[in-house]
Structure 1
């Protein structure tokens, strides 16, 4: 294997190995119980507005896609211009959080609640690993 990589417009970056490395040391038998609440509704019924209106500093809101996270960050910043500092740290893509959570938590970030938008689009393992890594009470 050389240090050269050939790419094209069809090249994708896959994070499977990085995701695996971020959770491989999780001791599943000692993982505490996680309490889940499911809020569901049809598209356009106001689920994201509900999250926007009920967000508190200390919450971690995770999204399955970058587009969803960017849209939510913009909506939050428009609604709360003086609190936009929370947008990048608190509104994240779930894969980014799983891969980078150790560094993020080492920087002193702590969370009180974990909110996952479009949770049913995600693998249950992603949700449980995120809850475990976030160490929400």
Structure 2
């Protein structure tokens, strides 16, 4: 599951970038909304399954490798940094989506909420990038190197 999530985040970032481009370059607000809601739903399901897998099977034993030791303290440090970004991303995405659903007209068009949405959505997208990058660093340190 770890391998799939690490690879899948490349696709998530690509879809996120494409969705932002839909609005910025093409003004396709309806498709942007559909893509973002679908992406959020898929991430919720996949990451919930991922968390269940981690809770049931752990990661430390697998990270320790064949030497039978325990992961280094630096691995735990990177994990905590990753978890910080993961949690802030979760909160930001929920806030951005709920506020967008509440404040944008149907069908979605630019309005008074647009400026705030743009600011908070960019922050959420950057946070997603940081979550992904720190996740990859953790993955590399814990399971590859």
> Fold conserved (TM > 0.5)?
no
Query: Which is richer in strand?
Result: 1
Report the TM-score, using the length of structure 1 for normalisation: 0.25
Query: Which is richer in helix?
Result: 2
Report the TM-score, using the length of structure 2 for normalisation: 0.24
